[in-house]
Amino acid sequence: MRSPISGYSRLTKAHKLSVAGIAAVGAASLAFAVVPGAAADEDKQSVAVKQVAWSASEFGTEHQQNELTKQSDNAAKAAKAQAEAKKKADAEAAKAKADKERADKEAASRSAARKPAPAAPAAPAAPAKKTYANNLDGWINEALDIMRAKGIPGSYEGIKRNIMRESTGNPRAINNWDINAINGIPSKGLLQVIDPTFKAYHVEGTSWDIYDPVANITAACNYAADKYGSMDNVNSAY
């Protein structure tokens, strides 16, 4: 159909599509209209050019760009939301872990506080004190135990043999006739010890009574060990 204006022909739809294809790559397009009915003479008719406006929306390009922009925005929003959700989840997990560790620590502390202190180990019972018979056999055995602790030599047989010769086993025996008695220091006790000798060779831990059987035996054996090596070596008055 001819254009009612200026007698120029309007571009057909095919022409517009062709021009629009060129404009899609970013260039402004021009639509050309050639005046029909050129004369056969040598003079050529002038060509009239008419600018045609291009609309990207007419071919769907604008819609596609809008869709891409929308999708890009949505993806960015989704990524941001996912990052925030992960950050929140990590923070909650860290807080839960810290709370659990604190609760475990407090529970352990309370448990330790409630736990009774271990009882102190009982002191070892003192060994029962050894008892001895209150007779010659008991006196000799008690004296021997003390002598072993003090490193004083002597045997049961050597001690008893000398006791029987000196006093016949009487702890209160006293010699009032020998030279010591004449000098005023009579021999006394089971092994007939004079006072100066008893005091000089008294064994620590025993009685200071010269008539005490155990004290008399240990002092006499201490003296015999110094003078004769042992009471076992004494076979006569000493």
| pLDDT confidence of residue 62 | 66
| pLDDT confidence of residue 226 | 97
**Beta-bridge mates of residue 32:** 49
pTM: 0.49
SS3 159: helix
Both tokens assigned to 158: 């050597």
Distance from C-alpha of 170 to C-alpha of 136, rounded to nearest angstrom: 9
| pLDDT confidence of residue 114 | 62
| pLDDT confidence of residue 83 | 84
| pLDDT confidence of residue 25 | 40
Distance from C-alpha of 215 to C-alpha of 213, rounded to nearest angstrom: 6
Q: Extract the residue ranges of the chain whose pLDDT is less than 50.
A: 1-11, 13-54, 56-59
Q: Summarize pLDDT for 85-109 with one digit per residue, the tens.
A: 888 888 888 888 888 888 888 777 7
